[in-house]
Chains A and B, each alone.
Chain A
């Protein structure tokens, strides 16, 4: 299958994107932010729509800009100490997807954008691979420099603050990272399932890991294996790649889940 250029590109892209998602996913799961990253994914449609209105030729730019604003706004809401937080995030999420759909479906044009829903990994071009590689390197550097602080904040923000950790700044950088990588990958993976790619590998890894090193190792391995297997299966079975990857990731989740249950018995 690697004799085709589009398959080679997809292969490289997955080899970069899935470990990146596995890495970042560990802290999304730790911080119980699944709801948040889901809402963020939904905001992509509004970003595309706004780009279309403003006449931006490259929708990725308007998506990323909108997602960053949306994410920072959502993070402000996070501080609301009431039980209605999930409801508010949900309202934001539905509003974002509805606005996007309304604008994009004007004059019956939506089919043009339906690719964003399930993604098209075979459309990747080399420039995009270089871009995501650069971002992956930057995120990894951030992780090396700031992971401890991110973990400390997830344990208890007040405690982190008492140790002079700049809580808001680090949280906001983390959130911008999520916004950027989700938006860059969304055209390949699809809005409907991008969140599972962030959540499933980390959730699976949690089932079997005993410390932070194992947690990261297995999250990255599971993510990479899901991506590669999903790509290969989708090539031979002629299915959409993103959903196929997610099915593999779900199977891994259930296996690790039962392994945990067994070890607890």
Chain B
């Protein structure tokens, strides 16, 4: 977590968010190296989702986000995002329809573009989800949806991948699979990943760094350091 960025990193500098009179976030600094998984934890209302939305540019904030990649020479940062939930209730939308709507201009209501279809299928294969391409999104299980959303967030592969508590309602095997996918992405594609999660067992195993948030950064370090901290124990008890 040094100030020196090295070859490739994302610096989130002094992010503050005030909504109305209320200060939600104050001076949050995070530096994430490419190929690192940074997990954000914190109790409800600690500002985790607000921080993610600030990084995504959805809420007004002060501070700056600087992306450095010596290989890409000043190219703007590409951010991938996996939301907490999506609106698919009863919608006659297949996995192809959904992914193509985000990644292609070929109108999905009119026809199925063969090349787009094959490209999506190929990408889904990396996540073990190719057979889901013609399934309706609202019929997918929690784990299947998770894989599809992860696949979607990585077309094209981003520099920074943001995941907002994306694995509620999934059994332990599903979670293990999910963290393995994340780990592969991190290692094989050198992504910087920010994940909001409270699965401390997996966080311990897979996270490179953990940030504990409560309006500001209260703890920051290796998982075992943060889990051993006083602030952590006061907030979560002995959960980890």
24 A–B contacts, CB within 8 A, in A order:
A30-B91, A32-B87, A143-B107, A147-B101, A147-B109, A148-B105, A148-B106, A152-B101, A154-B87, A155-B88, A156-B86, A158-B53, A159-B86, A162-B56, A165-B102, A206-B90, A211-B92, A211-B93, A211-B94, A211-B136, A212-B94, A213-B110, A214-B92, A215-B109
Q: Is the CB–CB distance between A212 and B108 below 8 Å?
A: yes
B104 within 8 A of partner (CB): yes
A210 within 8 A of partner (CB): yes
Q: Is the CB–CB distance between B56 and A206 below 8 Å?
A: no
Q: Is the CB–CB distance between B108 and A159 below 8 Å?
A: no
Q: Is the interface of A mostly helix, strand, loop or mixed?
A: helix
* Residue in A closest to B88 when the chains form the complex, CB atoms: A155
Q: Is the CB–CB distance between B101 and A148 below 8 Å?
A: yes
A161 within 8 A of partner (CB): yes
Q: Which residues on B sit within 8 Å (CB–CB) of A213? A: 108-112
Complex alpha-carbon distance, A160 and B162, angstroms: 14
Smallest Cβ distance from B134 to chain A, in angstroms?
A: 8
Q: Is the CB–CB distance between B94 and A159 below 8 Å?
A: no
Contact of B107 among A144, A161, A214 (CB under 8 A): A144
| Contact residues, A35-63 vs B (CB, 8 A) | none
Q: B-contacting residues of A (Cβ < 8 Å)? A: 26, 30, 32, 143-145, 147-149, 151-152, 154-156, 158-163, 165, 205-206, 209-216
Q: Which residues on A sit within 8 Å (CB–CB) of B94? A: 210-212
B127 within 8 A of partner (CB): no
Complex alpha-carbon distance, A143 and B106, angstroms: 11
- Determine, out of B75-83, B170-178, B200-208, the stretch whose residues face the partner at the interface: B75-83
Q: Which residues on B sit within 8 Å (CB–CB) of A151? A: 93, 97-98, 101, 108-109
B57 within 8 A of partner (CB): yes
* Residue in B closest to A213 when the chains form the complex, CB atoms: B109
Q: Is the CB–CB distance between B56 and A148 below 8 Å?
A: no
Q: Is the CB–CB distance between B107 and A158 below 8 Å?
A: no
Q: Which residues on A sit within 8 Å (CB–CB) of B97? A: 151, 211-212
* Residue in B closest to A161 when the chains form the complex, CB atoms: B58
Smallest Cβ distance from B151 to chain A, in angstroms?
A: 13
Contact of B101 among A145, A155, A206, A216 (CB under 8 A): A155
Q: Is the interface of B mostly helix, strand, loop or mixed?
A: loop
Q: Which residues on B sit within 8 Å (CB–CB) of A156? A: 83, 85-87
Complex alpha-carbon distance, A143 and B97, angstroms: 15
* Residue in B closest to A146 when the chains form the complex, CB atoms: B107
Smallest Cβ distance from A107 to chain B, in angstroms?
A: 47
B100 within 8 A of partner (CB): yes
* Residue in B closest to A218 when the chains form the complex, CB atoms: B92
Q: Is the CB–CB distance between B92 and A210 below 8 Å?
A: yes
Q: Is the CB–CB distance between B101 and A149 below 8 Å?
A: yes
Closest 8 CB pairs of A and B: A209-B92, A151-B101, A162-B81, A148-B101, A215-B92, A152-B101, A216-B109, A212-B97
Contact of A162 among B79, B91, B105 (CB under 8 A): B79
Smallest Cβ distance from B224 to chain A, in angstroms?
A: 32
Complex alpha-carbon distance, A158 and B153, angstroms: 12
Q: Please give 12 more A-B residue pairs, beta carbons under 8 A apart, in addition to A212-B109, A213-B110.
A: A147-B101, A154-B91, A155-B88, A156-B86, A156-B87, A158-B58, A163-B102, A205-B92, A211-B92, A211-B96, A212-B97, A213-B109
Complex alpha-carbon distance, A209 and B92, angstroms: 6
Q: Which residues on A sit within 8 Å (CB–CB) of B103? A: 163
* Residue in B closest to A157 when the chains form the complex, CB atoms: B58
Smallest Cβ distance from B130 to chain A, in angstroms?
A: 17
Smallest Cβ distance from B114 to chain A, in angstroms?
A: 14
Complex alpha-carbon distance, A158 and B57, angstroms: 9
Q: Which residues on B sit within 8 Å (CB–CB) of A143? A: 107, 109
Complex alpha-carbon distance, A247 and B106, angstroms: 36
Smallest Cβ distance from B121 to chain A, in angstroms?
A: 15
Q: Is the CB–CB distance between B87 and A155 below 8 Å?
A: yes
Q: Is the CB–CB distance between B86 and A155 below 8 Å?
A: yes
Q: Which residues on A sit within 8 Å (CB–CB) of B85? A: 156
